[in-house]
Chains A and B, each alone.
Chain A
C-alpha cells in the first residue's frame, strides 16, 4: 500500500508517568480519608454518643462525606491513575496535553477538598451521591470536560489503529458520566451555597435513581472493567479469554444498565409499569455483568499457581469474584418480593460494600501493588505484608457483609412481622433497632480489619518507594498512523473490528446507546399523565416549613429516615395508608430516603405534640428509651434565617411550586408569625426559653406538616376515596 511508505518514518515519544504517580498518591490519601470516615460513622451507628453532639461530625453530615470520598475521591483517583497509565500504552501515545493532565489532576483534588469543606457544614442538595452544591457541580463538569478532551485527544493522536476493549470501557465511562451528572444536577440557586433541583417528587426520584444507579454502573463498574482488561492479562501474562465475549458483554452492559434505575423505587408511588421495567432489566443484566467476570477469571487459566504466590493476582481474583457476587445479588434484590424485605435495611449496605470494598477496593489495591515497580525503580518492599493485607481485607469484608446481611434480614422480618390476629409483632420501631445493635459492633470490627489492611499497604508502599527514583521515561519509536481511516476487515474477522478502528464512530454509537436507553426509560414516565394527578388538597410548604425542610436536608435526616410508606399491610399498620405521589409533588428535592435506621416520617405530622419533638430532638432518649438517634442541641441555639425566605419561595415558584405573589412578599412576616405561635404553644406546656427565632421551631413546623394534608383530605367529608 502506498500510505505505508509515506508514513514509515518513525516518531519518537515517551509516556507521561508523572501524572500517574500523582493520581497514585491521591488514591492512597483519599482512600485513607474515606475508610477512616467510614469507621467513624460505623462507630456512631453502634453507639450514638460518638456523634458527640457536634454538628460538623454528626452522622447525617458525615455519611455523605464518606460516600463521596469513597466514590469520587478514592475510586475516582484510582480510575484516573489506571486510565492514564493504560491508555497511553494501549494507544501508543503520550497523553494529548500535559497541561490538561495537570489541570485535571489539581482540579479534581480541588473538587474533593471543596466537598470535604462543605459537607460537614451541611451544605448539600440532599440527593444521594449528588450532594455537592451547584458551584462544585459546575467545577466537576469543567474538569470532566478537560479529562474528556485530554482522553479523546490522545485517541486522536494514537499510533495503534484499533482500540482495545479497555478503551471501549473508558469511552463509555467518560461520555455517560457526563450525561448523568449534567441531567441530574440541574439545580436553581438560591444563594452561593444553596440550590433546589428543578425536578420534584416522583420525577426527582426517577431522575435521581437513574443517576444513582448508573453512577454505580459508569463510575464504579465500566471503568473498573476497563482496568481489569488491562491489568489482569498484564499481571498474569496470559491472553484475554474471549474477544467475542468482550464485544457482546460490552454493548449489552452499555445499553441495558441504563434501564435498571427504578429498582431503587420498588413499592413507591412511581407507576407500577416503570417499577416492573426496573426489575426486569436488572435481571437481564446478570449475564452481561458475568461476561466481564468470566473473561477476567478465565484469562487466568494456566496461571492459577501464580495466584497463590502473587498478591496482585490474589486481589484481582477476589475483586472479580466480588463483582460476580454483587451483580447476582443486585438483580435478586430487584425482584419485588426480595426487595420488599431488603429495601430500607442494612442488607442494602451489605450489598454496596461487597461492591465497593470487594470489587472497587481490591481491584484498586491489586493495581497499586502492580504499579509500584513500574512507576519507580524499585521492588515491592514486602510480599508477606501484601498477603497480610489481602487476608485482613478479605475477612474484614466477609465480617462486614455477614453482619449487615444478618442485621438487614432480622430487622426486615421484625418490621413486617404480624401475629395470627394481624397485629404487628414489634410495634415499637426501636425494639427492632436494639435487636440489631450488636451487629453494628461486628460491622465495625470488619471495617477496622479492612482499614488495618489498608494501612499495611500504605506502609508497604512507603517502604517500597522511599529512596527509590521515579522510573525513567523510556523513549519509544513507532510509525505514525495514516490519517486515512482503515475501513474494512480481513477475512474471518468480526465486523466489529471496523468500528474499533474508528473511535469517533465508536463513541457516537456508545452515546446513542446510552441516550436511547435513557430516553426510553425516563421520558414515558416523566411525561405520563398519571404520574402526578394534581390535587388541591396538597398544599406547598409554608415559608417556615420550607425552612424547616432545608434543615432536615442539612442535617441529613433522610439518611436514616424514609418518607415513603409502601403499600403493604404491615407498613400501613405501622405508619398509615400508603404514600401518594401527590404528597411529594412540591418536594424539591424529594426525600423518600433509601434507609430506615429510624421509622418512616411521611405521616409523622400530628402524631406527636410539638413538645414531644422539642424534647426528642434535644435528646431522643428522653422520650424513647434505647433510641440510637443522635442529639441535635445546636438547633436550640442557632437562629432561623428568616431573611432568605422570600428568595427561597420565589425560586420555588420559578420551578413550579404555586406560591402566590402575596405569599412570597410576606414570606418573612408569615414565618415569624407561625414560629411565634409554635413557641407560645411550647411555653404554655412548660418550655420557658424564648425560642421563636430558633431553628428547632422551623424543624418542628416541618415535621408537623408531614402527612397533614393527607389527613385533612381523608378527614374532610367525602374527601377519602
Chain B
C-alpha cells in the first residue's frame, strides 16, 4: 500500500497520529478460520462423536492389552514362566544383568549386597512371600502394598524381572556383613 492512499485521521495525541488502514485480509481470514475451527472442534469433542479423555485412555489401554495378549511373555507371568526361569537363574549373563539393575532400583531398600535395610534380607533362608523363582518374580511385579515394596510390573519388562530373580536367587547364603535379622518363614 502506498502512503498517499492511506487515510490519516485527524486524531492527534501528544503528537501521535493514526492511519485508518483496513484490516489486513489475511488477518481477518485467520480470525474467521480459527473461530470456525473452534466451533468444529468443540462440537466434535463435546457434542458430536469425538472420544472423551476417558474413552481415549481405555482405547489406548485396550490396544496394549491386545498386543500383550498376542505375545504372552510381554506381560510376564505366562504359563511357561517356571521353565523359563529355571533356565534364566543359571545364566551368568542374566545374573549380571540383574545385578546392574539391582544397584539402581533395589539397593536403596535391600542394601548393596541384598542384606536388607528398609526391605528384608534377601540372602538368608527366610522368605515372607516364598522362595520359588515364580514367587519372587510375582512379588517383584506386584509389590506389597503398604509394606513398602513397590510394584515393578508396570515399569519393568518381563526379561528384566527375570534377570532380577536370577540375581536374587544367586544371593542365597552370601551372608553379607550387617545383614538384617530373618523375616518370614524358613525355606530350604
Residues of chain A having any CB pair with chain B under 8 Å: 86, 89-90, 92, 160, 162, 164, 230, 233-234, 239-246, 248, 252, 267, 272-273, 275-277, 279-281, 283-284, 286-288, 290-291, 294, 298, 302, 418-424, 427-428, 567-569, 572-574, 578, 606-609, 611-612, 615, 622-625, 685, 711, 715
Contacts and interface: CB of A to CB of B under 8 A. Distances in A.
Interface stretch (B33-41, B87-95, B130-138): B33-41
B20 interface: yes
B21 A245 contact: yes
Contacts of A624: 108
A242 B30 CA distance: 18
Contacts of B60: 568-569
A615 B118 CA distance: 10
Contacts of B83: none
- Name, among B42, B54, B105, B152, the residue most crowded by chain A CB atoms within 10 Å (CB to CB): B42
Contact of A283 (B11, B38, B68): B38
Contact of A427 (B22, B117, B155, B158): B155
A428 B17 contact: no
9 contacts: A86-B14, A89-B13, A272-B45, A276-B41, A280-B38, A287-B28, A428-B104, A608-B118, A615-B108
Interface in B1-45: 3, 8-9, 11, 13-24, 27-28, 30-31, 34-35, 37-39, 41-42, 45
Nearest to A494: B20
Nearest to A272: B52
Contacts of A162: 11
B61 interface: yes
Interface residues of B, number: 59
A377 B161 CA distance: 76
A243 B20 contact: yes
B68 to A, nearest CB: 6
B145 A90 contact: no
Contacts of B30: 286-287, 290
Interface of B: 3, 8-9, 11, 13-24, 27-28, 30-31, 34-35, 37-39, 41-42, 45-46, 52-54, 56-57, 60-61, 64, 67-68, 71, 74, 104-105, 108-109, 117-119, 145-148, 150, 152, 154-158
B59 to A, nearest CB: 10
A421 B68 contact: yes
B113 to A, nearest CB: 16
Nearest to B119: A609
A520 to B, nearest CB: 14
A418 B9 CA distance: 61
Contacts of A288: 31
A331 B122 CA distance: 53
Contacts of B22: 242, 244
B8 A239 contact: yes
A252 to B, nearest CB: 8
B180 to A, nearest CB: 9
Contacts of A290: 27, 30
B11 A243 contact: yes
B17 A239 contact: yes
A287 B150 contact: no
B14 A89 contact: yes
A571 B39 CA distance: 30
Contacts of B155: 423-424, 427-428, 573-574
Contacts of A567: 53-54, 56-57
Contact of B23 (A160, A248, A276): A248
- Name, among A233, A287, A578, A711, the residue most crowded by chain B CB atoms within 10 Å (CB to CB): A287
B115 to A, nearest CB: 13
